[in-house]
């Protein structure tokens, strides 16, 4: 697996990553490799960098104003129609700082304390924490392992949601951390259950631009008028274009009752993403298509490298190649690393920091303690070093 650096994604500058303020590398000891939080080790698209430089040279850091619709909302609507075949309803797109803020705002305006909120588990840990801290109840919809891939059972879904007093479904598609891209056949029962029980669906589609062929992202709101009328579609350019720290996201509010509730909120309740973050987002969505295509080729090769590595190990590391995202969900239960806290053990033993699996099922009865999430959005050479260290970890002296 030797690689000659050639191109913007074939090599990374570790000194730059360690010397900056990013948590992925900056929070770690000098000999530990960061492969946990969902940032990429690459830079940003040239179009994004140039847009940020233009704003900076203009010293344009005042209060944002546009003499028409927010350009972020326009770029979002264009992208959804052109790339994903769904035309958002005009006038329903709001700009926020990030998806966590969107979730928190929508929880407060679509549910009441004590209500159930359903989502597929394992789930993005801040989502679980936000639901629990808001005084709502997490209703887990367990993701199921099979020999052919990750999935979930829709059998009895309506009854489960009703019995647990659910008022909202949080649908993460593509799914983090398993990397599944849900099909229309899987999404339709969710839409039918939401329709029967009159639930709001918050569709987190932030990884939609990171889908590998032949899979295709299906916006939940595109399933038909009834689904669109109850869906809040949340997304951002931050994951696909590596600009998480700029803090800009959008929510398209299809549910009338939520739209009406938001309209009554104080004007300053939601905050105001900056000119800089808006300019970077618009540049990413409108001008960075070629960069994204090159990125996807590298990520595709990297995910296949992980698959080959996992298959060649002398022990049973359960792993399905993700259909989207740059994240691999690894089950260490059948390995010498063990079935509890594998990420902590690997950080001590291998000098590689992954995300701890137990965090992805916190406050639920689902057990993901034997898992760890690996971020493979790095150079092929660095990924090879990460995988080599993990494979060798059980052979080193001292307690795991």
Report the predicted TM-score, pTM, of the whole model to 2 decimal places: 0.94
pLDDT of residue 68: 82
Give the pLDDT confidence of 59-116 residue by residue, as tens digits.
Answer: 999 988 888 889 999 999 999 999 999 999 999 999 999 999 999 999 999 999 999 9
> Per-residue confidence at 5, pLDDT binned at 50, 70, 90?
very low
| Rounded Cα–Cα distance for residues 240 and 39 (Å) | 9
Q: Is 293 helix (H, G, I), strand (E, B) or coil?
A: helix
Longest CA–CA separation in the chain, Å: 65
Task: Answer left, alpha or beta for residue 174, where phi above 0 means left and psi between -120 and 50 means alpha.
Answer: beta
Per residue in 189-211, pLDDT tens? 999 999 999 999 999 999 999 99
Domains and CATH numbers, the chain: 14-45+290-393 (3.90.1150.10), 53-287 (3.40.640.10)
What pLDDT is recorded for position 66?
A: 84
pLDDT at 57: 96
Strand partners, 203: 171, 233
Alpha carbon distance 332, 193 (integer Å)? 35
- Looking at per-residue pLDDT, the higher value among 64 and 359 belongs to 359
Sign of the torsion angle spanned by Cα atoms 321, 326, 331, 332? positive
pLDDT given at position 125? 97
């Amino acid at each position: 697996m030797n690689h000659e650096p050639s191109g913007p994604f074939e090599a990374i500058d570790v000194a730059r990553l360690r010397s900056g303020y990013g948590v992925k590398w900056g929070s770690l000891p000098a000999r530990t490799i960061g492969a946990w939080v969902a940032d990429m080790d690459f830079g940003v698209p040239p179009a994004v960098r140039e847009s940020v430089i233009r704003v900076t040279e203009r010293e344009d850091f005042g209060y944002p104003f546009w003499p028409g619709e927010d350009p972020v909302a326009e770029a979002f609507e264009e992208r959804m129609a052109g790339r994903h075949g769904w035309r958002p309803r005009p006038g329903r797109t709001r700009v926020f700082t990030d998806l966590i803020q969107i979730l928190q705002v929508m929880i407060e305006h679509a549910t009441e304390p004590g209500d159930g909120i359903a989502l597929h588990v394992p789930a993005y840990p801040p989502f679980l924490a936000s639901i629990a801290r808001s005084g709502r109840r997490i209703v887990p919809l367990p993701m199921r392992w099979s020999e052919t891939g990750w999935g979930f059972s829709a059998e009895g879904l309506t009854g489960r949601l009703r019995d647990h007093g659910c008022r909202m479904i949080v649908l993460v598609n593509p799914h983090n951390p398993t990397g599944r891209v849900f099909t229309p056949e899987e999404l339709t029962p969710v839409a039918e259950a939401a329709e029967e029980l009159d639930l709001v669906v918050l569709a987190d589609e932030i990884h939609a631009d990171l889908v590998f062929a032949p899979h295709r992202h299906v916006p939940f709101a595109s399933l038909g008028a009834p689904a669109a009328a109850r869906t809040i579609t949340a997304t951002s350019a931050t994951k696909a274009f590596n600009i998480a720290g700029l803090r800009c996201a959008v929510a398209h509010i299809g549910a009338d009752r939520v739209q009406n509730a938001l309209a009554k909120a104080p004007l300053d309740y939601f905050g105001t993403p900056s000119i800089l973050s808006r300019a970077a987002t618009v540049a990413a969505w409108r001008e960075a298509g070629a960069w994204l295509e090159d990125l996807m080729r590298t990520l595709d090769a990297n995910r296949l490298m992980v698959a080959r590595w996992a298959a060649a190990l002398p022990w049973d590391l359960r792993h399905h190649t993700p259909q989207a995202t740059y994240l691999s969900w690894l089950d260490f239960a059948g390995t010498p690393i063990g079935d509890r806290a594998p990420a902590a053990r690997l950080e001590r033993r291998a000098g590689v920091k992954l995300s701890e699996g137990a965090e992805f099922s916190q406050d639920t009865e689902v057990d993901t303690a034997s898992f760890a999430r690996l971020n493979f959005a790095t150079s092929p050479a660095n990924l090879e070093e990460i995988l080599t260290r993990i494979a060798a970890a059980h052979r080193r002296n001292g307690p795991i």
